[in-house]
Amino acid sequence: MTLHSIRRILSVAGPLLGLGVLVFATPEGVAAQTPDLGQQTLGRAYWHVFIAYTIGWALILGWIVSIARRVGALERRIEREE
């Protein structure tokens, strides 16, 4: 496996993760569940769940991006040497 292929996979996996979080973790998504859940009136709690999952996945995405950037920096170093 080359550095380039790792970076390519990470660059696809990152946006996919972000999309998954946006689809599943939006307050509207939570509210659109069963009627029982829709009746809950703790509006602020929806936002707390949304923010918690968004921050969590943003941090993981940040780590993925930082690994991808390091792979990119290594590739540039190797190219310079060659």
Partner 1 sequence: MKGRTGWIGVALALAGVAMSLVTLWLVFFRVGTDFRQGIVQRIFYLHVPAAWVAFMAFGIVALASAVYLWLGDERADMAALSAAEGGMVFTAIVLTSGPLWGKIAWGTYWTWEPRLTLTLLLGFIYVGYMMVRRATESPERGKRFAAVVGIIGAINIPLIHMSVYWFRSLHPDPVVLKPDGPTLDADMLQTLLVGLVAFTLLFTGLMILRYRVERARHALDIREAT
Q: Which residues bind partner 1 (CB under 8 A)?
A: 1-3, 6, 9-10, 13, 16-17, 20-21, 24-25, 29-30, 33, 36-37, 40, 42, 44-46, 48-49, 51-53, 55-56, 59-60, 62-64, 67, 70-71, 74, 77-78, 81
The least distance separating partner 1 from the CB of residue 21, rounded to whole angstroms, comes to 7
- The CA distance from 6 to 11, in Å, is 9
End-to-end C-alpha distance for the chain, whole angstroms:
19
CB of 71 to partner 1, least distance (A): 6
Q: Which of 1, 21, 4 has its CA nearest to residue 76?
A: 4
Minimum distance of partner 1 from residue 30's CB (angstroms): 6
Contacts of 2 (CB under 8 A, 6+ apart): none
